[in-house]
Structure 1
């Protein structure tokens, strides 16, 4: 048995059909290119029979994306298979993925078919799909709840008809690792097939075990796993591609298999999907979450500063991520503060460190994460005795035009410890864009918004609030300045000022980092 596990990515089919993850044809093509760069083996580009829009998107992907096999899903009907074959025609390497329900529930309540009728449909559908391509995959929908003897019969019939991949999906996310391992071992021993025909696993995450079940299926003999980037998919989602690939890579000693995926492109694919769907993975999401390689705890930071392997089993570079692992917050310790201060040109030792750490903890308790600009201000104040000179939002006014083609105008007033009160105006197609532009003009940091995430957290219904709402807004923003990404965050009562304050925070970080680099460069020239 080969030690290579194929990766079929279904982000554009199972993932895209989930609520909240719909993509435009251009978005699907962009994501397909990211998957091609990731070097997945198969891209399931959609469900051609679902409509002309999806069919056209599959054809465009088949025409433009090179490398992976391009696949379309199809029910075991001639109409679906014909639509899939036509949509995939431009692809040099193509696959038709035929499925039909095999469990008693699906046979009785969805299909209204007998066991024999389902078998007849499997044989005829695969034979017809073979007229369009030699690469045909068969899925026994709801396989986990199908009688074992009948599942063997269905998969053997599919293999005899010409299917070269036999998918055994846990359609409803019901199974456990022990059960699915035993099932794949059983199928490997009882299904009649050629040596070139492989088993595939497709697991959903309804009980939170999609990745564990997929790894167990590999141990049981599966040599293809169907995944989605960021784990998106129907209901609770599919097996997350990044989790599976990095588990196989990191624990090769336990699984003894490999994939051909270029793991250094994982973060790029994850970010592309987040941008297309406007949905970021949770902060604590494994591998690609914002906290996956971040450390705020003082004990952890001390260990990571000595040797990253003390608390990291993977390198962020392995997934294409360049990051500063140490996050300075209220849980951080003296070692982390001293290390970051030294990187910014400040040496903290003895009493000086204790004094700076006390001031740092006071700020961290108030704002949570202490970013570069705020830390520089704090360290400068400790060094010179002068107050921090940070930008602060005083007022933002938006004037919306009466004319339909007019642009909003934003008037923004900022306060700075050295420059005092500064006001500027700007116009842009959107109100926030106009406010951001005015801020950039004042801080002198030209930037574009890379990502913006907002949480509007309402007060508890039983909480008494003077304004009846009592809501709290948290905004996290990323801006791009000369090709580099800088982050900012703000918390406020109102959405618009909170977004502008977060932009100010990010722009201030960019300004601070550039100033530090400028002073280092000047020092190097003087030396």
Structure 2
């Protein structure tokens, strides 16, 4: 039977209907995941079409999954970061939602404080397990949407929950119906989808959810959770690990529209950003992230990475304030005490810093030669040079211009007397046996010692420009 598709505007074979396969023994994909070896990636050479949604957005799990991996945030810290997410997302709300735990008094107080701000975006949502007791918490807080844990691999259904697939589906559908009866939008977290029987459980379950959504008139969102980071984006890779296959299959076979489809990944195999982008490209409007990529084990997809990825794909920030990314990094380090690895893209102290003297000379002549983009303009993070025994005059000059935020006529050149004087001090330290890079405060003190009056002028410029940006 042929049907005309309003997605491709072509005649297509009618979609096969997949029924639940209620097996007696779990399908653990032992050919891929035997546990004694690195998991295997298999290919069937089938490729599905890209279908980029009209709208793309980011959702946040910093205060839920992210907070599980760090020292618990205080209420004040949560509210401050939530305000930053609001500013980062811009007027179009590209950081669309932020999810919270509801289990402790502190969790609930943080939710109340964020709700009091009255922001449309990010919408405050919650996360619960699939049981009636947790659902009461959502009703008590008056939230409009909640995430519900619906584990979908046989690892969880058989080995963790001690159920068969039909029993798990009945349990999940029961809690979803309870949410719908209260007018609350369910967001179903398909945990461990990259080890799940896609056609035997995932598609039939998703189909039932879409039927419920149509009957109730309430949207039911599906979050495809790559809980263990097994997702793979390569062309022709086979299910259950295929990110394109999962997103396409949920749309094509379960009829989940893009705006109700979201990807949640982990970074166990260094694929988290690529997988999230792939989910966007193949039809999911939402990607779920955490600030700085914090989260279980290797962490979630870094929210700041997907903000940059959005701008790369769309050719515009659509109003996002990317400079907030730098403020977030500073807040985590200075107020929360979280140390960001120095080489972390966009947020690490060294991500746009060089130590090589020849690179520093190139930066001094034309920053584009060695900087990925105008990080000073976009992220409020000027390119810097880490000064050591190899930096030379150019490295010290570039460090001074970056640290003190000098522009145009304020810029000091590598032939400046003060640069030469600072280099003499630096060279003397390394001649005495030093073998570590110079710190910013240490170099600033050398500048002050060399010419205190000039140092005071430079600090006035630095503080004025920092305050102006804020």
Aligned equivalent of 2:270? 208
Residue 306, structure 1, aligned to residue 369, structure 2: no
Closer/same/farther in 2, CA of residues 331 and 146 from structure 1, 3 Å limit:
same
Q: Within 5 Å, which residues of 2 pair with 1:244-323?
A: 244-250=306-312, 252=314, 261-317=320-376, 319-323=378-382
278, 282, 301: which one pairs with 1:220? 282
- CA–CA distance in 1 between the matches of 2:294 and 2:339? 11
- CA–CA distance in 2 between the matches of 1:57 and 1:353? 49
SS of residue paired to 1:17: helix
Please report the TM-score for the alignment, with normalisation by the length of structure 1.
0.64
Given that 1:32 and 1:43 are in contact with CA atoms closer than 8 Å, whether structure 2 keeps it comes out as no
Given that 2:125 and 2:146 are in contact with CA atoms closer than 8 Å, whether structure 1 keeps it comes out as yes
- CA–CA distance in 2 between the matches of 1:55 and 1:22? 14
85, 94, 117: which one pairs with 1:64? 117
Gaps of 5+ in 2: 1-51, 214-218, 235-241, 462-470
441, 446, 449: which one pairs with 1:374? 446
Q: CA deviation at 1:67?
A: 2.4
Gaps of 5+ in 1: 381-507, 520-527
How far does the alpha carbon of each residue in 1:56-77 deviate from its partner, in whole angstroms, 9 at most, with x for none? 3323322335122110001222
Residue 151, structure 1, aligned to residue 202, structure 2: yes
Given that 2:340 and 2:348 are in contact with CA atoms closer than 8 Å, whether structure 1 keeps it comes out as yes
SS of residue paired to 1:235: coil
Aligned equivalent of 1:513? 455
218, 221, 226: which one pairs with 1:165? 221
Aligned equivalent of 1:80? 134
How far does the alpha carbon of each residue in 1:311-365 deviate from its partner, in whole angstroms, 9 at most, with x for none? 2222224554243623332231333345667978977649998897565433356
Closer/same/farther in 2, CA of residues 324 and 172 from structure 1, 3 Å limit:
closer
**Which structure's relative contact order is higher, taking Cα pairs within 8 Å and 6+ residues apart?**
2
Aligned equivalent of 1:181? 244
Which is further off, 141-150 or 114-123?
Answer: 114-123
Closer/same/farther in 2, CA of residues 337 and 83 from structure 1, 3 Å limit:
closer
Given that 2:97 and 2:124 are in contact with CA atoms closer than 8 Å, whether structure 1 keeps it comes out as yes
Q: CA deviation at 1:518?
A: 8.1
Closer/same/farther in 2, CA of residues 368 and 259 from structure 1, 3 Å limit:
same
- CA–CA distance in 2 between the matches of 1:297 and 1:151? 52
- CA–CA distance in 2 between the matches of 1:79 and 1:114? 23
SS of residue paired to 1:175: coil
Closer/same/farther in 2, CA of residues 319 and 233 from structure 1, 3 Å limit:
farther
Aligned equivalent of 1:191? 254
- CA–CA distance in 2 between the matches of 1:17 and 1:340? 38
- CA–CA distance in 2 between the matches of 1:177 and 1:124? 34
Q: CA deviation at 1:215?
A: 1.2
Q: CA deviation at 1:240?
A: 0.4
Given that 1:268 and 1:320 are in contact with CA atoms closer than 8 Å, whether structure 2 keeps it comes out as no
Given that 2:259 and 2:285 are in contact with CA atoms closer than 8 Å, whether structure 1 keeps it comes out as no
How far does the alpha carbon of each residue in 1:16-39 deviate from its partner, in whole angstroms, 9 at most, with x for none? 122x33112232222222222222
Q: Report the aligned-residue RMSD.
A: 3.2
Aligned equivalent of 2:32? none
Given that 1:227 and 1:240 are in contact with CA atoms closer than 8 Å, whether structure 2 keeps it comes out as yes
Which structure: larger Rg? 1
Q: CA deviation at 1:258?
A: 6.8
Given that 2:393 and 2:415 are in contact with CA atoms closer than 8 Å, whether structure 1 keeps it comes out as no
SS of residue paired to 2:125: strand
- CA–CA distance in 2 between the matches of 1:167 and 1:350? 58
Say how many residue pairs are matched. 379
- CA–CA distance in 1 between the matches of 2:421 and 2:374? 34
Given that 2:326 and 2:381 are in contact with CA atoms closer than 8 Å, whether structure 1 keeps it comes out as no
Given that 2:100 and 2:107 are in contact with CA atoms closer than 8 Å, whether structure 1 keeps it comes out as yes
Given that 1:138 and 1:166 are in contact with CA atoms closer than 8 Å, whether structure 2 keeps it comes out as yes
How far does the alpha carbon of each residue in 1:287-316 deviate from its partner, in whole angstroms, 9 at most, with x for none? 100011222211221222222221222222
Aligned equivalent of 2:428? 362
Closer/same/farther in 2, CA of residues 148 and 259 from structure 1, 3 Å limit:
farther
- CA–CA distance in 2 between the matches of 1:279 and 1:116? 44
Closer/same/farther in 2, CA of residues 182 and 310 from structure 1, 3 Å limit:
farther
Given that 1:10 and 1:45 are in contact with CA atoms closer than 8 Å, whether structure 2 keeps it comes out as yes
Closer/same/farther in 2, CA of residues 289 and 264 from structure 1, 3 Å limit:
same
Structure 1 or 2: larger strand share?
1
